Structure 1
Amino acid sequence: MSQPLQQRRRPSEADQLQQRVMSTMSFNKMKRSTSSTTSTLQSLATSRDYHEASSNSINPLSPSLRWSSTQRRPSEDQRQQQPSYPNNPSQPPPAPKQHHSSNNNNNSRRDRTKRSHDPVPVSKPAITVAPAPAMYWSRTVTYGHGPRPIRAHTSVVVHGVMYVFGGTDNKGGFAKLHTLDLDTFTWSKPTVYGDIPPPCRAHSATVHEQESKIYLFGGGDGPHYYSHLYVLDTKSMTWSRLQTTGPNPSPRRAHVSVIWQNHLYIFGGGDGIHALNDVYCLNIKENVWSLVETSGMKPTSRGYHTGTLVGDKLVIYGGSDGHTCFGDVHLLDLVSFRWHSVNLEPQVPRLSHSSICIGSYLFVTGGHDGTHYCNDLLMLNFVTMAWEIRRVYGQAPTARGYHTMVMYDSRLIVFGGYDGKHYFDDVYILDLSGNAYLVQVNNFVIDLD
């Protein structure tokens, strides 16, 4: 039987419009659900990739790599703004990418944010690694306010503190005292009391360890030469000028001084007219000067040499008389007051250098060889009485003279100096490393025959 007429009739235009609206609403609902599901899955995948990358990345605190915010990867927008041209100029550049939906734009922004914040490791510069037993130079970082760039100053160590006094630059001499804590490398300018020495350079400073006092003798400033003797008590930070008796040494600078068995010994220097080679002795307990009568062949008159106490011997090396740069070595026996000349081949001329005794070796740094300033390290073996060459790694001090060198905690500390053009205020350290045992070598004999 046929269906009723009203069921077979053609839908009106209103019915067709209502059906299209309902169909469109259903489709949009399904699209939003699909988009939400896709966005959630992509977000989870992005989070998983980020955590996996983080777990496999190198710790940014690792010293092997450094992270630089100025060298991040360019974002996608930046890459699009910078066209990349192929090697073949006839080939057209690729067409820019087009995004067809807001969903793709959101994902693109999320990817760009992640990639633009990914740090890029900067390769560490190649550094030559020194063998474990090798000596190593390095320039240290200091803190606080230290001395100005100076030369011809003095530096001594008392209980882990380096005391720097005097010196000069192109404007004149100084009478300032600075201290450097050799554990923290912090500069200080302590408050001092008493009778402070005048500005001076090329003076000598020697430590009396039992009394924790520093004896400062001679020096000068400009045309002035001094023969005064000052003492700094490092416990009370008080300067005093000693009143002495006996034949006082003549005014001089560029001399050397050592303390042995409560006696202060002075050798050489210059008075502005002549170079000197006399020896004076001060009895510290009685404050009495005496001229030492020596035997043997005296060193020629000189200044800007070094004098190093090795046991009961005063070792004189190098210096100049104003015309010749010397490379000879002389020893004064402080028991017999007899001079001994050491026959060295070859001789190494040097003046305005620094030296220090470490075990059975004399360590010498810098100075002038009569032609140019040096930055090498010389080692004189007192047992064989011969120069030795050791390879030293690291960053050595620039060539200089008129600097100072002290030893603390098996390390040599070099400060200041002058290279003919520039004054220095830097601090360098020579780490003895495997050679630190030399400090403990005290049982050796210098053959003077």
Structure 2
Amino acid sequence: MARSLSSLAYPERFYAAAAYAGFDGSPASSVSSKFSNDVALLLYALYQQATVGPCNIPKPKAWSAVELSKWRSWNELGNMVSTEAMRLFVKILEEEHPGWYSRASNFIMEPAVDVEMNVSLLTVQNAKVDLVTENGNNIPEVKTIPAENGNLSETQDLEVVSEGFGAVGVYDQWVAPPVSGTRPRARYEHGAAVIDDKIYIFGGNHNGRYLSDLQVLDLKSWTWTKVEVKAGIEASPATVTPCAGHSLIAWEGNKLLSVGGHTKDPLETMQVKVFDLQNGSWSTLKTYGKPPVCRGGQSVTLVGTSLVIFGGQDAKRSLLNDLHILDLETMTWDEVDTLGVPPSPRSDHTAAVHAERYLLIFGGGSHATCFNDLHVLDLQTMEWSRPTQQGEIPSARAGHAGVTVGENWFIVGGGDNMSGVSQTVVLNMSTLVWSEVTSVQGRVSIASEGLSLVLSSYNGEDILVSFGGYNGRYSNEVNVLKPSHKSTLQSKMMETPVPDSVSAVHNATNPTRDMESEFETGQDGKIREIIMDSEPTIKKVEETSERLISALKAEKDELESSLSKEKLLTLQLKQELTDAETRNTDLYKELQSVRGQLAAEQSRCFKLEVDVAELRQKLQNLELLQKELEILQRQKAASEQAALSAKQKQSSGGVWGWLAGAPPNQSADNA
């Protein structure tokens, strides 16, 4: 999980977790009764590291096994900073005991706040709609989140407008619209996207548990409903994995892409889930090539027909700064080798694209540090740069959200390891000049981590809509900001000169301005004077510019033609691969059939071999019987011969008859 605990509430959340776990002499049960020995030792070490610091006590004697184990666990943490120890303590507790915060409410004391902050919190959190009377009709009035610098009535340059739904709103201020319907469960690190004036919210983290529900807010009626997910061909509602830290992208007008995210049982590689609004079912996008390693907290930016994925944190809590691109036409992954110095490994940052060419990365965090650096990637040359930022540079933050309105990039919320960021800022991506739009007060969802921010329209005007977040409490609040022309143009009116490293982003998209600046920055203005005084020179420059532009257009056409051919070739290869897979499937089925026939023949042959063996045995027995018969026949013949001989002897009388005195005839008769 990339950031299981909002860094902006470490101290309060940590001490509440310590009390629940049984540390610090709290009324909670003992540590050993809640956790295994290994977990209890690790929690003890993290608690000591967070409250005392690195282990400096002497090593206990060997005979004290328990104290020695505790000392070793603490000593192995080395010089880990206290905020990181707090974060890991609460992360382990949430993994072992999900929902501990709600069960610990009996003995966890909330920090005291003054009356003014309580009023602000009640105003924002409850988002109640009061009824005001206008021309005899009751009209709902939207509560405005208090600004940091005084009351709204004291701000003279705010333009008040009447909305179609009857609410009174202001430009460049966050307001809570009067939503209806069953609100989604409070959450952060969810995904949000807009299709047809409807905001779709998917997944997220609530109380340490990942979510998988899909909710929708209709911006015309400001009504929440839950999307009923039907069983799909490739995935059913039961197999849609709960996740957090993912990205939700609107695609093809009626589909939502859920990219990456942290899950309970992570896979080895990143998957892209597709929700079809027409049939109401989830499926897994079939891709080719080598997909990135599974991760969450990454940035996913739609550039043309490609998704650009940067950074994040993998399942082993390793921070990443690699770059991957998914071509949504060929569904092919590509890991890009970039030039220059890339941003340091990070997660929970924001990304935006300018002029369909420049990818901007701002902020994010590591395990113990938050950033406010700005990096630019030229998507044509794939080279990183770190231009100089101008104006009111924002403070370091992670878990913030951003959205672009034209060439302006609005950044909202986030945390900086100490508190929530209350300022809403805007960056002009052409000049790289920052300016502050507004600021909120108190612990509100706008000043939280893991919130979502989308761009939509209402009554023909652009509006920014935020949802959810975590700042010690999980939020399900909706807030709206309507940017005025002044806020979107303010950075352009800055009189601070823009250095070359900054203006390069804008000049690369404006070749005419490049030619003008090249002639306007000569020594002592001599070139400018020559241009102003010499018509032929200007004409020559224009002709040169036209030839250069023509050459660039020809090169562009050639590159587009080559790209089209490459895409066609890729599609052909993809079709050939599909045909080969089909043939392979048919051959495999045929092979299985032949194997079945062969098995049947082998079985029949085995039976025949058994029958032959039986017949051979019978034949051997028959031969033995034949031999016995021949012996018996010979014995019979011998017996008959002997009997015949004896009979002949008796019939003749012989010597014995003569000696007995018997007459021959009597002997014969006796015989």
Shared fold by TM > 0.5?
A: yes
Q: Provide the C-alpha distance between the structure 2 equivalents of 1:393 and 1:320, rounded to a whole number of angstroms.
A: 23
Given the superposition, is the C-alpha separation of residues 323 and 377 from structure 1 closer, same or farther in structure 2, using an over 3 Å criterion?
Answer: same
Structure 2 counterpart of 1:322: 367
How far apart are the structure 2 equivalents of 1:173 and 1:245? 28
Q: CA deviation at 1:402?
A: 0.4
- Larger mean CA deviation between 428-437 and 377-386 belongs to 428-437
1:411 aligns with 2:463: yes
Look up the SS of the partner of 1:148 in the other structure: coil
Given the superposition, is the C-alpha separation of residues 422 and 61 from structure 1 closer, same or farther in structure 2, using an over 3 Å criterion?
A: closer
3-state SS, counterpart of residue 446 of structure 1: helix
Contact 1:305/1:352, CA 8 A, preserved across alignment:
yes
Please tell me whether Structure 1 or Structure 2 has the larger radius of gyration of its CA atoms.
Answer: 2
TM-score, scaled to structure 2? 0.45
The counterpart of 1:137, out of the listed 146, 157, 174, is 174
Greater mean deviation of Cα atoms: 147-156 or 344-353:
344-353
Does 2:278 align with 1:235?
yes
**Residues 352 and 223 of structure 1, relative CA distance in 2, 3 Å threshold:** farther
Aligned mates of 2:183, 2:241 — CA distance in 1 = 19
Shift of 1:324: 1.5
Compared CA separation, residues 65 and 227, structure 1 to 2 (3 A): closer
Q: After TM superposition, give the deviation of residue 381 of structure 1 in Å.
A: 2.1
* Alignment of 1:200 onto 2:240: no
Deviations 1:342-393 (A, max 9, x none): 2226462110000111122211111012321122111112233121123469
Residue 219 of structure 1 pairs with residue 231 of structure 2: no
Once the two structures are TM-superposed, the CA of residue 153 in structure 1 deviates from its matched residue by 0.2
Q: Deviations over 1:164-213 (max 9, x none)?
A: 000011151111000111111111112223225300000111122x4432
CA contact (8 A) 2:325 2:336 kept: yes
Of 426, 449, 456, the match for 1:401: 449
Give the C-alpha shift of residue 127 in structure 1: 6.3
Q: In 2, are the aligned partners of 1:301 and 1:321 still within 8 Å (CA)? A: yes
- Amino acid in structure 2 at the alignment position of 1:143: S
Give distance in 2, aligned partners of 1:341 and 1:247.
29
8 A contact 1:269–1:276 mirrored in 2:
yes
Map of 1:160 onto structure 2: 197
Change (3 A) 1:139 1:63: farther
Q: Which residue of 2 aligns with 1:447?
A: 506
In 2, Cα distance between equivalents of 1:248 and 1:389: 39
Aligned position for 1:107: none
Work out whether 1:341 is the aligned partner of 2:355.
no
Tell me the SS of whatever aligns to 1:135: coil
Aligned to 1:274: 318
User: Are the counterparts in 2 of residues 138 and 394 from structure 1 also a CA contact under 8 Å?
Assistant: no
Contact 2:423–2:438 (CA under 8 A) maintained in structure 1: no
Counterpart secondary structure, 2:193: strand
Identity of paired residues, percent?
A: 28
Distance 2:137 2:225 in 1: 35
CA 187–448 in structure 1, closer or farther in 2 if over 3 Å, else same: same
- Aligned partner of 1:254 in structure 2 is 297
CA RMSD of aligned residues (A): 2.9
> Aligned partners of 2:278, 2:486: CA distance in 1, in Å?
33
> Which residue, 288, 296, 301 being the options, matches 1:245?
288
Q: Report the structure, 1 or 2, having the larger strand content.
A: 1
Shift of 1:151: 0.7
Query: In 1, Cα distance between the equivalents of 2:372 and 2:385?
Result: 15
- Structure 1 residue 310: deviation in Å? 2.2
Q: Map of 1:22-171 to 2, 5 A cutoff?
A: 61-62=133-134, 128=153, 131-132=158-159, 134-171=171-208
Shift of 1:332: 1.6
Comparing 240-249 and 391-400, the one that deviates more: 391-400
Q: Decide whether the 8 Å contact of 2:349 with 2:363 is kept in 1.
A: yes
Q: 1:157 & 1:321 partners in 2: Cα distance?
A: 30
State which of 424, 433, 436 in structure 1 corresponds to 2:475: 424
**2: CA distance, partners of 1:63 / 1:366:** 39
Deviation at residue 146 of structure 1 after TM alignment: 2.5
1: CA distance, partners of 2:181 / 2:438:
33
Distance in 1 (alpha carbons) for counterparts of 2:208 and 2:318: 25
Equivalents in 2 of 1:167, 1:187: separation in Å?
Answer: 17
Tell me the CA shift for residue 219 of structure 1. 0.8
The answer for the alignment partner of 2:60 in structure 1 is: none
The residue identity in structure 1 corresponding to 2:153 is T
Deviates most, 297-306 or 226-235: 226-235
Residue type at the aligned position of 1:250:
V
1:277 Cα deviation after fit:
0.6
Cα deviation digits, residues 110-164 of structure 1 (max 9, x gap): xxxxxxxxxxxxxxxx962752184222111211112101010011001111110
Aligned pair partner of 1:187 in 224, 231, 241: 224
Equivalent position of 1:175 in the other structure: 212
Cα distance, 1:171–1:323 mapped onto 2, change above 3 Å: closer
Task: Please tell me whether the aligned partners of residues 135 and 434 of structure 1 are also in contact (alpha carbons under 8 angstroms).
Answer: no
Q: Which amino acid is 1:279 matched to? A: L
Partners of 1:248 and 1:152 in 2: CA distance: 22
Name the amino acid aligned to 2:452: T
For the structure 1 residues 228 and 295, does the alpha-carbon distance in structure 2 shift closer, same or farther, using more than 3 Å as the test? same
> Are 2:203 and 2:211, in contact at CA under 8 Å, matched by a contact in 1?
yes
Count of residues paired in the alignment: 325
Q: In the alignment, is the contact (CA less than 8 A) between 2:197 and 2:218 conserved in 1? A: yes
User: Which residue number in structure 2 is paired with residue 283 of structure 1?
Assistant: 327
Q: Which amino acid letter does the alignment assign opposite residue 428 of structure 1?
A: N
* 1:351 aligns to 2:398 (yes or no): yes
Give, as a single letter, the amino acid of the residue that structure 2 aligns with 1:430.
L
For residues 27-85 of structure 1, the C-alpha deviation after alignment (integer angstroms, 9 at most, x for no partner) is xxxxxxxxxxxxxxxxxxxxxxxxxxxxxxxxx9448999xxxxxxxxxxxxxxxxxxx
Structure-2 residue corresponding to 1:57: none
Amino acid at match of 1:150: R
- Greater share of helix residues, 1 or 2? 2
* 3-state SS in 2 of match to 1:413: strand
Amino acid in the other structure paired with 1:422: R
Matches of 2:467 and 2:247, distance apart in 1: 16
Q: Which amino acid aligns with 2:453?
A: M
| 8 A Cα contact 2:172 2:487, kept in partner | no
Contact 1:139–1:397 (Cα < 8 Å) also in 2: no
1:229 deviates by 1.1
Question: Which of 424, 435, 440 is residue 377 of structure 1 equivalent to?
Answer: 424
Which position in structure 1 is the counterpart of 2:614? none
Return the match for 1:390 from 423, 437, 442.
Answer: 437
What CA distance in whole angstroms lies between the structure 2 residues aligned with 1:394 and 1:63? 33
Q: Which 4+ stretches in 1 moved above 3 angstroms?
A: 60-66, 222-226, 390-398, 433-438
| Paired residue type of 1:340 | S
Question: Residue 405 of structure 1: SS of its match in structure 2?
Answer: strand
